[in-house]
Structure 1
Amino acid sequence: MSLKIGVIGLGRMGAAMAARLIERGHQVCGWNRTAARAEAIEGLAVKSSPAEVAAAADYVIVMLLDEEAASAVYHGEGGLLGATLRQALVIDMSTLKPADMQANAEAVAAQGGRFVACPVGGTVGPARSGKLLGLAGGDAAAIDAALPVLDELCDRMERFDTPQAASAMKLAVNLPLLAAFQALGEAALITRDYGISPERLLGIIGKSSGGAPAFAVRSAAIITEMGGTRSDSVGFSIEAVEKDLRLMDEAGGAAGFNLTLVEAVRRTAHDAVREGWGDRDLAALAAFSLRA
């Protein structure tokens, strides 16, 4: 069955989702702040505002980088909240602070719309092939209604009672992932003066108790970056990594905890962005310590 789906935010992930949904035979429209990104997606009906997307679609996916972009999309001129949302189901797949996701949910409900938070685990490749981990939070009936769309993008779904819980789980999923890449970089510092190549280091660690599944997925990019060459493959930028770490830090602070590991990895990501590495892949985080 062909669905009418809108996608707001057509960066790497949003574009991959839109392409997947078009390929699956759905009627997809979309909007992006930089219109050229939307126009580059074959088969996408480009709209002039988030409100226009909501007017044309039964399901509205929101996939944005940060809370600033989300505020503009929901509350800005031509924003979602200026649209008639009574026929729309908003599925916000962005990684946001729990409080911000809850505020978006309440704002949509106040306009008569339905809302599901569904931040995802996985990057561009899984988005394009429908193999994301979906972390769906909200009213059970709304989640059920969103499944025809979510099942096209996710091959595993976990359900939570609130949008806040889904957002918190997404931050929790990303914390050990990002820490693992910092740890790999520091492991390389220990071994580099002893003739142990990045390939061998990764091959041994990846098959040990200290290995992370993401090392295998990104092995080529990690080896390229550790070898001193920039990888062309970018699924999760260091700019986005830094943003997620900031959200973790803020969430920990709101809960009354000092997340020392998050603070350490955040400093590394901040330094990497400051030195011009922000548009490089997460794999480069493992190489950043080796740059000198």
Structure 2
Amino acid sequence: MKIGVCGTGRMGSAIAQRLMSVGHEIGVWNRNPAKMKPLVDAGARLFASPAQLVEGCEVIIVMLLNDAATEAVYRAPDGILKAKLAGKLIVDMSTIRPDTMKSNGSSVLQQGGAFVECPVGGSTAPAKEGKLLGLVGGSKADVARALPIMEQMCRRFEHVGDLGAGSMMKLAVNLPLLVYWQALGEALTICKPLNLPADRLIDILTDTSGAPTAMKGRGPVIAKVLGGAPLGETAFGLNAAKKDLACAVQFASSLHAELPVTASALACYEEAEAAGLGDADATAISTRWTQRKGKS
């Protein structure tokens, strides 16, 4: 099948690699051409615009960083909505506000295309292995059409409602983990007087009821950084984590609800990003907090 991948950052590239590995013919477009080169070198076809990508492929996977990026890519003069969408299937896997997802999806549907949202849980490693958690929104007919492709990308997918529902669920899924990374930094801070080796401390904290599953994979990396090693590879960027928390707070506000713990964590991520850690892994929020000087 000819599948276009619109947005080849960390996750978009990983998804493209997965789809290539299972035999699909992949086309790519990205605002930064340099990010497409490894995929093109591996056999992907380069397209000059989102509109051309849509017209040259049967299915288009959209994986963009934030609401502003999706608005620009859908509505630019050479954007997705300028293509001939009749008969095309758009699967948007971006993590954005539910209202933005609904707006983009409705515009595609109005022009005769099919649209499914499928924001995902998981980072680059499970993306390359087809082991993401898909949180799906859309009509039953469109979801059924997207099912064979989602099965190749996801270990599990849940159709949770109409357009916007997947985005709501994705914000809820990300929120506790991202708050946890900040909470872990605070826990590590009050453990400093113990002078325990970093790997032992992380091992103890990982083997508790409060630790998320992600600690099994990320805990050893955090321990190494605490021991003086460089930050290492980014699986899920701190800037993307900050964006997700901001989306959650904004969406809650539209429901006339408050997220005080999330808002506090968001401020810590914003501070870390301002300190130059935006491109680092989100777990850098934990190690940074142990080095931060508190107010006197």
| 8 Å contact kept, 2:47–2:53 | yes
Q: CA deviation at 1:60?
A: 0.5
**Residue 46 (structure 2) aligns with:** 46
Deviations 1:213-244 (A, max 9, x none): 11111123211232343322101111101101
**Residue 16 (structure 1) aligns with:** 14
Q: CA RMSD in A?
A: 1.0
**Residue 201 (structure 1) aligns with:** 201
**Which letter maps to 2:49?**
S
| 8 Å contact kept, 1:225–1:283 | no
SS in 2 for 1:40: helix
Deviating runs (4+, > 6 A) in structure 1? none
Q: CA deviation at 1:98?
A: 0.6
**Residue 216 (structure 2) aligns with:** 216
Paired with 1:199 and 1:186, the residues of 2 have a C-alpha distance of 17
Paired with 2:37 and 2:46, the residues of 1 have a C-alpha distance of 7
Paired with 1:136 and 1:5, the residues of 2 have a C-alpha distance of 19
**Which letter maps to 1:186?**
E
Paired with 2:70 and 2:259, the residues of 1 have a C-alpha distance of 25
| 8 Å contact kept, 2:95–2:244 | yes
| 8 Å contact kept, 1:230–1:280 | no
**Residue 236 (structure 2) aligns with:** 236
**Residue 111 (structure 2) aligns with:** 111
TM-score normalized with structure 2 length: 0.96
Structure 2: where are the runs of 5+ without partners?
none
Paired with 2:226 and 2:43, the residues of 1 have a C-alpha distance of 38
Paired with 2:291 and 2:201, the residues of 1 have a C-alpha distance of 17
Paired with 1:166 and 1:89, the residues of 2 have a C-alpha distance of 17
Paired with 1:68 and 1:202, the residues of 2 have a C-alpha distance of 37
Paired with 2:73 and 2:15, the residues of 1 have a C-alpha distance of 18
Q: CA deviation at 1:23?
A: 1.1
**Residue 172 (structure 1) aligns with:** 172
| 8 Å contact kept, 2:60–2:89 | yes
| 8 Å contact kept, 1:116–1:163 | yes
SS in 1 for 2:116: strand
SS in 2 for 1:156: strand
**Residue 251 (structure 1) aligns with:** 251
**Which letter maps to 2:206?**
G
How many residue pairs were aligned? Answer: 290
Q: CA deviation at 1:130?
A: 0.3
**Which letter maps to 1:276?**
G
Matches within 5 A, 1:120-139: 120-139=120-139
Paired with 1:190 and 1:85, the residues of 2 have a C-alpha distance of 56
TM-score normalized with structure 1 length: 0.97
Identity of aligned residues (%): 39
Deviations 1:2-24 (A, max 9, x none): x1100000000000000111111
Paired with 1:32 and 1:233, the residues of 2 have a C-alpha distance of 22
1:279 is the counterpart of 2:260: no
**Residue 24 (structure 2) aligns with:** 26
**Residue 150 (structure 1) aligns with:** 150
SS in 1 for 2:261: helix
| 8 Å contact kept, 2:199–2:220 | no
**Residue 4 (structure 2) aligns with:** 6
SS in 1 for 2:74: helix
**Which letter maps to 2:25?**
Q
Paired with 1:211 and 1:69, the residues of 2 have a C-alpha distance of 33
